[in-house]
Structure formats: structure tokens, C-alpha cells
Structure 1
């Protein structure tokens, strides 16, 4: 009875989030994803470039990245993004810093798609336990939002190239932020990603040796599968399915498939923590299970917590408390 009510609550929450979303046209936009690509690239050309990027570690390494331009004012940090877009607001990265009494441990938080607020409770909780929490605005969110937009349609959409550019931008921005934290003296750096943020956190952890612990909430491997099957992305699928099938979408978004980085995530020295929802309709459990199996096959030993709730109800008691306690134990805070 309770879980039937929980499922209905999750569906009602999904319907509220769906109200503002509109289906947008399918666009390849290869030049945006892969600078220098043929402006009139075919889908096959796009997929070939994407598959090459997925096996190129340099794709998520900002070329000649500058660590200049950081400005700190009270609890706010701003710095220029490594990727310049036509949306001026999106080109400046904003991060909120909740300091602790320690200058050794820091955790960078990557929020979910269309987040309406930062995670004040998480920041407060862990900062009191000796961890400085840094909450970075992902592309087209919060202070970086596109003027006039009601949701972050430029971060994740049926524009294949812009979606790759946006996730790549989030990864570059996150890595630049981590370099700054290292320069400030922090030596133990963790990343925490939630839903879409877990893809960003996972890709960063796979490519950046400065990250010692990665916690992924409500995650899956293939972003293509998540968009195709998920409750929150029906409007995106509507723009895709008349022009591309799931098999080709997987190829086109190969750089965004965390399964492709399982070997990297299994590297020595990186600890993994995963929180999954058994009743998730946004990131289907079978996608998460496939990702977990890929990690284990690669030699990783993720600490996995499975909660009997949905994607949105993970934020309700008792599930949020169980997830928080599991994260606290994983990070070894006393």
C-alpha cells in the first residue's frame, strides 16, 4: 500500500516537471560537439567522431586550460568556463562554497537536471563534519541559465551536438574547479553527482586522478538509454525518434556513456559509492544494474545502496536519511 502511494507521488512529481518541457527539433550540430567537424556532417560521420572521442582521454581534457580568472567573494566563487557559448551567462561558472574548519577535505557537488535550488542541507551537514562543500552550477542552470528559459533545455536535448558540448563543458568546468581546490591546499577531494550530475561526476572521476572518492546517486551508464526510456525525458525522445533509433543514439552519445569509462573508474586509488532507487522510472533499474555489472567486470568494487523508492522520492524520509548515512560512512567522516 505504501509503495503504491510512493509510486503515485513520484508520477505526480514527474508530471509537474513535465509541464514546462517542449519537444525541440532533432539537430546533429557536429561542429558544436567536435570543433572542426564538417558543418554538414551526416549521422554516420557524427557517430564515427563520437566513437573516436569516447576512446580519446584528451576529449575531456581542456586544451591549454587557464587557471586564471578565479574570483572569490564571501561564499561565492566565479571563473570563466573553458568553453564559450553564445549564451553569455553560461560562460561564467558559479560555485557556492560552504567552508568547514578543515582545509584538507573538499567535496564538489553536481546537481540534477533542472535543479531548482542548491543542496543547502547536504552542504550544512558535511561542512559541520570537516568537509568543505562546493556546489557548482552546471551549464544552463542557476546563474548560468539562458535568459527567458524555464528549464535547462540546452543542457540535455534532441540537439545531439549541443548535449555533448554541454556535458563536456560541465566536465571541463568541474576539473578546473578541482585544480583550484588543489591550489588552495585541499588534498582529499571527492565528487558527488545526482542523476544527470552523476554522469558528470563519473566522467570527471574517470579522467581526473585528483579525485579520490566518487559518489553517484541515481546513476546509469548509457545516457542515450536513459533519455530514450526515462520518464523525465519523454519530450526529448519525441524530438529524436522520428530521426534516429536507439542504436545510433548510443553511438552518437558514446562519449557520454559512463560504461565506456568502467576500466578508468576501476583504477587503483578511486573509491566508488552508488545509491540506486529500485522503483526509479527516470533512470530505469536495469540501466543501473548493467552499469554496476560493467564496473564489477572491470574490477571495481562499488559500495552500492539500493533503496525501495523512486527517483524523486529518494529525497523523502527515510530514504534521504539512509542515503546520507551511507554517504557519510563511505567518506569515512566521524
Structure 2
């Protein structure tokens, strides 16, 4: 009875999330994803460039490596993004810093898609326990929102190239922030990603050796399959389905598939923590389970917490309390042995 109520609660929350959303046109927009692309007009050509990006270990490395332009004031940090888009607001990155008074550990938080508020409770909780929390705004969210938009529809959409550009921008911004934190003297750097934010945090952890711990909430490997099957992305699928098959979408968004980076995530100096929801209709459990298995096959030993709730109901008690306690233990523990609850 309780879980039936919980499922209905998640569905009502999903419907509220659809308000104001509209289907958009399917667009390749290859030059956004691959700036050196010239006159790419076919899906096959786009997929070829995506294959090259997957094989390129530097695809998520910011070319300039510039750490200039950081401004910090009254608990806020802002700096220029490494990618320049046609939305001026999106080209400046904002982050909220909640200090702990210690330079031993800092956690960078990447929020979920279409987030409207930062995670003040998380920041307050961990800062009181000696962990500085930095909440970064992902592309097209918060201070970076596209004027007039109700949703972060430029972050994730049926525009294949812009979606890759946006995720890549989020990764570059996160890595630039991490370099700054290292330069400021923070010793141990962790990342926490929630839902879409887990893809950003996961790709960063896979590519940046400065990250020693990564916690991924409500995650999976293939972003393409998540969008195709998930409850929150039905309108995106409606735009995609007449123009592209899932097989091709997997290949086109291959650079965004964390399954392609499992060996990087399995590096011995990275600890992994994962929180999954057994009743999730946004990131389907079978996609998460496959990703977990591929991590293990690559030699990773993730600490996995599975809760009997849905995607949205993870945010309500007792599930959010259990997830928070699990994260606290993970950040406090140096033991890399796997656990499954």
C-alpha cells in the first residue's frame, strides 16, 4: 500500500515537471559538439565524429587550461566558462561556497536537471562536519539560465550537438573549478552528482586525477538510453523518435556514455559511491544495474546503496536521510572494500 502511494507521488511530481515543456526540433548541430566539424549534414558523419571523441582522451580537457578570471565575494565564486555559447548568461559560471573552516576536504556538488534551488541542507550538514561544499551551477541553470526560459532545455534536448556541447561545458567548468580549489590549498576533492549531474560528476571523476572520491546519485551509463526510456524526458524522445533510432542515438551520444569510461572510473586511487532507487522511472533500474556491472567488470568496487523509492521520492524522508548518512560514511571512510545495502 505504502509503495503504491509512493509511486503515485513520484508520478504527480513528474507531471508537475512537464508543465511548460514543449517538444523541440531534432537538430544535428555538429559544429557545437565538435567545433572543427565542417559541413556535417548526415547522421552517419555525426556519429563518426562522436566515435572519434570517445577514443580521444583529451576530448574533456579544456584546451586553454586558463585559470584566470576567478572572482570570490561573500560566499560566491564566479569565473568565465571555457566554452563560449550564444547565451551570454551561460558563459559565466557561478558557484556557492559553504566553508567548513578546514582545507582537508572539499566536495563539489552537481545538481539535477532543471533544479530551481541549491542544496542548502546538504551544504550546511557537511560544512559542519569539516567538509567545505561548493555548489556549481551547471550550464543553463540558476544564474546561467537562458532569459525567458522556464526549463534548462538547452542543457538536454533533441539538439544532438548542443547537448554534447552542454555536457562538455559542464565538465570543463567543473574541472576548471577543481583546479582552482587545488590552487587554494584544498587537499582532498570529492564530487557529488545527482541525476543528470551524476553524468557531469562521473565524467569529471573519470578524466580528472585530482578527484579522489565520486558519489553518484540516481545514475546510469548511457545518457541516450536514459533519455529514450525515462519518465522525465518523454518530450525529448517524442522529438527524437521520428528522426533517429536508439541504436544511432547511443552512438551519437557516445561521448556522454559513462560505460565508455569504466576503466578510468576503476582507477585504484578513486573511490566510488552510488545511490540508486529501485522504483525509479526516470533512470531505469536496469540501466543502473548494467552500469554497475560494467564498473565491476572493469575492476571498480563501488559502494552501492539501493533504496526502495522512486527518482523524486528519494528527496523525502526516510530515503534522503539514509542516502545522506551513506554519503557521510563514504566521505569519512578510507576503506575501499565494496558494500551493498
Range into which the TM-score falls when normalised by the shorter chain: over 0.9
Q: CA deviation at 1:286?
A: 0.2
Q: Give the alignment of 1:255-274 within 5 angstroms.
A: 255-274=255-274
Please give the alpha-carbon distance, in whole angstroms, between the structure 2 residues aligned to 1:325 and 1:39.
Answer: 51
User: Are 1:143 and 2:143 counterparts?
Assistant: yes
Cα-to-partner distance string for 1:28-87 (whole Å, 9 max, x where unaligned):
000010012123431001001001101211100000221000000111000000000000
Unaligned runs of 5+ in 2: 335-341
Cα-to-partner distance string for 1:100-143 (whole Å, 9 max, x where unaligned):
02112100000000001000000000000001000000000000
Please give the alpha-carbon distance, in whole angstroms, between the structure 2 residues aligned to 1:46 and 1:18.
Answer: 30
User: Are 1:320 and 2:320 counterparts?
Assistant: yes
**Partner SS, residue 272 of structure 1:** strand
**Partner SS, residue 57 of structure 1:** coil
Structure 1 match to 2:173: 173
Please give the alpha-carbon distance, in whole angstroms, between the structure 2 residues aligned to 1:188 and 1:77.
Answer: 19
User: Are 1:296 and 2:307 counterparts?
Assistant: no
Runs of 4+ aligned residues of structure 1 deviating over 6 Å after TM superposition are none
Structure 2 match to 1:244: 244
User: Are 1:26 and 2:48 counterparts?
Assistant: no
Q: Give the alignment of 1:162-201 within 5 angstroms.
A: 162-201=162-201
Cα-to-partner distance string for 1:253-284 (whole Å, 9 max, x where unaligned):
00000000000000011000000000000000
**Partner SS, residue 59 of structure 2:** helix
Answer whether contact 2:40 2:46 (CA < 8 A) is retained. Answer: no
**Partner SS, residue 216 of structure 1:** strand
Please give the alpha-carbon distance, in whole angstroms, between the structure 2 residues aligned to 1:5 and 1:255.
Answer: 38
How many aligned residue pairs are there?
Answer: 334
Please give the alpha-carbon distance, in whole angstroms, between the structure 1 residues aligned to 2:137 and 2:14.
Answer: 22
Please give the alpha-carbon distance, in whole angstroms, between the structure 1 residues aligned to 2:204 and 2:34.
Answer: 19
Structure 1 match to 2:159: 159
Structure 2 match to 1:222: 222
TM-score when scaled to structure 2? Answer: 0.97
Structure 1 match to 2:338: none
Structure 2 match to 1:56: 56
